[in-house]
Structure 1
Amino acid sequence: MGYRWTSMTDVDEAVVVVMNSLDEDGAIPGWLSKTINQSIKDSDAEYGRYFFEQVRQHAPAALKYFAE
């Protein structure tokens, strides 16, 4: 179940979780991918755009797990 991002800090925290998952496992678990994809859908578009900007910058290998 996703949650609605209401600030850039919410998005930043999600990006840190993505980065940590890649560092630990080399992949994004299915539950995390589903949760973040739902958050992207449920949140204002500006937060979705910001999420993708941050992932491109900090964890580009994770882009394949998320729908743009």
Structure 2
Amino acid sequence: MHVVLDEPKCVASGQCVMAAPDVFDQRDEDGIAILLNENPGDELHAGVREAAAICPAAAILLAEK
């Protein structure tokens, strides 16, 4: 899986961090999401898929390898 975060679309809701904290974080100054791991291991895929599904701005794009 390859993860792409479209930062300009992010609305800083933090849902991705709650669903996949090993893959996403938030900047302290404005809460915009940060992608920590663009190629997460298999054990993280379920959380990343959930993060993409619940992102209110649809800012997370997934591509299966």
TM-score range, shorter chain: 0.3 to 0.5
Give the structure-2-normalised TM-score. 0.38
Give the structure-1-normalised TM-score. 0.37
Greater percentage in helix = 1
